[in-house]
Structure 1
């Protein structure tokens, strides 16, 4: 009997949904997306009269304990609440989405699928942060994100998967991951999804002394600093216009042009770092909303990497929802 699986994928700027038939192979029945700020009921209006047999959720951060897909129960909810400290842009929103789905489909099993799972076994040279041992013992490490997207790229490549692969997931949130033999060996994001490349509203990697400066000299508290690095920086902060590259391409100001150049340079620098990790690359894959659709950005990144010689490059869709459905189907089998 074919089961129907609903996937709910909340990102930093939108919520994507998918409806899948658990067939062999998995078959997509419907898909869509709504922007954050749209009424909650609009999501289920878009989904329509679906009675799922299971619901899969993308969870950005499972904290120190949750990496593998798991059926959601009260204990998992408690752990997800604690893990929200690691991903304040995403954690509370994911918990709210789970609560909405439970209210809408109270008897349907729900599964949490974690973006950190793909990176869980990174080697110690990649996952270990250069901080005192007492802090590392509390689970402060590089976790890595966009793991479901990376999984989907590995799955799409199939038998053509090279030994040394770099995945550039470029969207409102962006990261670069080094994959060897199908396994994550390094990635640009760290303890939280705030680090790494410049993003839509996130600063990415910045001098930690800046945070101390804001504390001491500007008398900012944690909430104010969080707003600066997560919501007011990146492309938005640089351009003073928008976090959306589509808007910036059409904005003829020096600040908008500089924002685009800084974004592309930050991605290229992270790709270059992954070439060090891998000892070169056999393939670079661009994915995510920007990576898939913005040829100008891809061209600027390629130009910055011209020194590395000819590395084959591909554009592939990020199929996170399909990975979520696959995990949910396997777990509930």
Structure 2
């Protein structure tokens, strides 16, 4: 067995596999891919509600059929590190052959990491300094990386960075109007959801043809939400900024906010920093405005006026910022929806497209309703000047492909 191998599994083909891990604030998505090729994993799953007594783990095979995994002990679900330490040996029982590398989504790469990279302890120390810029995600990604390093010390760990796709922003597009010494400290627009946008960019030629290299606005609408304006499938503008708080209204984050409102909460309302941070990261957005939920499905199903108002504000913010991105690009040649809300909430898509009528976008309502069935679909009317698409995202495939490319050189 080589240094990078975790050992063959009994009664399974002797082939190499790669593991991908996407650590969220209270969950870990995982998948196992053939190391040779393929955008689809042969095993994928979710460890959910980490840090609570209700922590669970589920998995499915390539056909979507459930895979029986042991019940997660309560102690294993206490932290991301303990969850992964328990999960890795379990996954090895289902891996085909050996795990030759692990690929990890890392939300913030700062200025040092603008392409996928093999990460050692020195690199993790650099990434640790970025925790204040992505407090709800960065610590958990680092926990996952360190857990894999302890359980499988010989397996290379590949970091794939959400900020990297936006390294093509111009100096003007990434600058804030702050004193130079503040900018020199790293306060600038980084942008996020880069792995999702990288996948969308890779699919555009198949769906849009020559328009793929034009002025495309991609809308990643999930619990976290942002827009990316691309030209030649490279990021030229985005709504998230220094942290994932900026831009669109989200499930629990406010998006665009006058900084004076934060000062008011601190100075006049007497809130401390921890309280303000909790409000901004956990109690705003759809949850805060509706007072009900951060789940768009629940709000669309509710007849309460607070729910309707939250959806109204969500759509208003999306339309206004699509306009801002179109202005930065000098127009819009295509609009693409992706992620949870973007892929599944047909009423929200409809209202956003209708609000973009001034761009020349016209909706085919039947196609939009049918798009809830999954897969990439055009939802614009035949006479729409701007084609509108729904394209499912696949961050795990982006991680897997980068991990394949780097694992052999590690």
Q: Do both proteins adopt the same fold according to a TM-score greater than 0.5, normalized to the shorter chain?
A: yes
Contact 2:36 2:404 in 1 (8 A): no
Q: Distance in 2 between matches of 1:22 and 1:45?
A: 19
SS in 2 for 1:175: strand
Q: Distance in 1 between matches of 2:298 and 2:177?
A: 38
RMSD: 1.9
Structure-2 separation of matches of 1:169 and 1:43: 29
- 8 A Cα contact 1:63 1:82, kept in partner: no
Quote the residue 1:295 is aligned against.
Answer: 346
* 2:168 equivalent to 1:131: no
SS in structure 1 at match of 2:130: helix
Query: For structure 1, which runs of at least 5 residues remain unmatched after alignment?
Result: none
Q: Could you tell me which residue of structure 2 aligns to residue 18 of structure 1?
A: 31
Superposition pairs of residues 112-123 of structure 1, within 5 angstroms: 112-123=159-170
State the match for 2:61 in structure 1.
Answer: none
**For 2:250 and 2:269, how far apart are their aligned partners in 1?**
24
1:8 aligns with 2:21: yes
**Structure 1: distance between partners of 2:302 and 2:92:** 38
> Alignment partner for residue 65 of structure 1, among 112, 127, 147?
112
Q: Is the contact between residue 17 and residue 47 of structure 1 (CA under 8 Å) also seen in structure 2? A: no
2:408 pairs with 1:319 = no
Cα deviation for residue 156 of structure 1 reads 1.5
Q: How big is the shift at 1:80?
A: 1.4
SS in structure 2 of the partner of residue 157 of structure 1: helix
2:102 equivalent to 1:52: no
The two structures have a TM-score, normalised by structure 1, of 0.94
SS of aligned partner of 2:348 = helix
CA distance in 2, matches of 1:44, 1:171: 28
2:136 to 89, 114, 133: 89
Query: Tell me, which stretches of 5 or more residues in structure 2 are unaligned?
Result: 1-13, 56-76, 78-82, 362-385
Aligned partners of 1:47, 1:236: CA distance in 2, in Å? 35
Aligned match of 2:251 = 200
Residue equivalent to 2:306: 255
* Pairing 1:154-193 to 2, within 5 Å after superposition: 154-158=201-205, 160=209, 161-193=212-244
**Contact residue 151 and residue 323 of structure 1 kept, 8 A:** yes
Structure 1 or 2, whichever has the larger Rg, is 2
SS at 1:189 equivalent: coil
With normalisation by structure 2, the TM-score equals: 0.77
CA contact (8 A) 2:106 2:160 kept: yes
- What whole-Å deviation, never above 9, does each CA across 1:162-185 have from its counterpart, x for those lacking one? 311111001110000000001100
Residue 47 of structure 1 deviates from its aligned partner by: 4.1
Give the drift of 1:44: 4.8
Q: Report if aligned partners of 1:202, 1:231 keep a CA contact under 8 Å in 2.
A: yes
State the Cα distance separating 1:252 from its structure 2 match.
1.6
The answer as to whether partners of 2:221 and 2:339 remain within 8 angstroms in 1 is: yes
Give the distance between the partners of 1:249 and 1:92, measured in 2 at CA. Answer: 33
Report runs of 4+ in structure 1 exceeding 6 Å deviation. Answer: none
Contact 2:25-2:140 at 8 Å conserved across structures = no
Give the Cα–Cα distance (whole angstroms) in 1 for the partners of residues 354 and 92 of structure 2. 45
Cα distance, 1:107 vs structure 2: 2.1
